[in-house]
Amino acid sequence: MTGVHEHSLRMWERRYGFPRPERSSGGARLYSADDVRKLRLIQQALERGHRPGEVVAQDVPALEALAAGLAAPGAVVENPVAREREQILAALRRQDVRGIRDGLRRLSLMVLPRRFVVEVAHPLAVRVGELWATGEIEVHQEHLLTDCLSTQLRVVRSLLDEGRGPTVLLATLPGEAHALGLEMVALYSAAAGASPRVLGADTPADQLVRAARAHQAAAVGLAITPSSDLVAALRAVREIVPSLAPATEVWLGGGGAAQLAPVAGTRVVGTWTELDAALSSLGQPHWPPESQAPHRVTRRRSSRRDRSG
């Protein structure tokens, strides 16, 4: 209803004193129509470049006036997500680890999980690769950002209610050490309702098959970068596919997947749209409006945590 993530709601509740929802007998938070109205106005302000500290504590008339001013015809509105991404890159250049981590945390509060992957993690990873290729940053800086991004992706995924949907195993093949893409796909899949299991980089083919059987995986996703040994990757994929259960799909992602010779029983998943389709093929519903998912998670997780507290 508001587009605001549950994590943001709880952070604002602690930090700014709003919202202050009522509680059900089971401990779940109950938000009023007035709360929803104000949260929508706050979300509009955030999307137009304002920070939570500037708007969450404002009253409704002030937020309405702000929205009216921001909506003036012809106004040029800065993209707050792009601005935060640039600040993270600036922090990376000056070796400011705290600045990188704080920026990623802010962005994880500003946008929902799927947007965090598509509009934050993926563009940052691509841009850092470009900066390294042109010599503007060094390898140790690229590795630092990768670590910070991986950590934040896992933090966001830990807030989702996983374990109910079809299992998707994610790994890279032997000789491939780049695993950041696995973390992105894991969060994206978890936000869709799947149950991702990240096996990590450099995973032997026989172990992938054993893990797929042990977890009764609906799909095995393999990340193949352009720098992968494509001959070895092709050989491994041809070994894996016939050893899996017939119902287990094999997804090939990453920049190198499309360069492989076609392999029967596999599916190239090279874009987020293609990942949506692949997830839907497992019986997952099409993406709901982004504002719906956090409310389902909030009620379920809140009641457990609040009763235990």
DSSP 253-291: ESTTGGGSPP-TTEEE--SHHHHHHHHHHTTPPPPPPTT
Give a yes or no: residue 112 inside a domain. Answer: yes
Domain end, chosen from 53, 71, 89, is at 71
Please count the structural domains in the chain: 3
Domain end, chosen from 158, 182, 215, is at 158
pLDDT digits (tens, 9 = 90+) for 243-269: 999 899 999 998 888 888 888 899 999
Give a yes or no: residue 25 inside a domain. Answer: yes
Q: Look up the pTM and report it.
A: 0.68
What single-letter amino acid sits at 201? A
- CATH code: domain of residue 188: 3.40.50.280
Give a yes or no: residue 263 inside a domain. Answer: yes
Same domain membership, residue 94 and residue 59: no
Residue 163's pLDDT is: 65
As given in the structure block, the two tokens for residue 83 are 């601005």
Give the integer Cα–Cα distance in Å for 65 and 16. 20
- CATH code: domain of residue 105: 1.10.1240.10
Q: Would you mind telling me the total number of residues written for the chain in this entry?
A: 309
Residue 71's pLDDT is: 40
Least confident of 96-105, 210-219, 265-274: 265-274
Give a yes or no: residue 187 inside a domain. Answer: yes
Same domain membership, residue 126 and residue 38: no
Give a yes or no: residue 297 inside a domain. Answer: no
- CATH code: domain of residue 24: 1.10.1660.10
pLDDT digits (tens, 9 = 90+) for 129-154: 888 888 889 999 999 999 999 999 99
Same domain membership, residue 171 and residue 276: yes
What number is the average pLDDT over the span 91-109? 94
Domain of 185, in residue numbers: 167-281
Give a yes or no: residue 294 inside a domain. Answer: no
Pairing of strands 266-268, 249-253: parallel
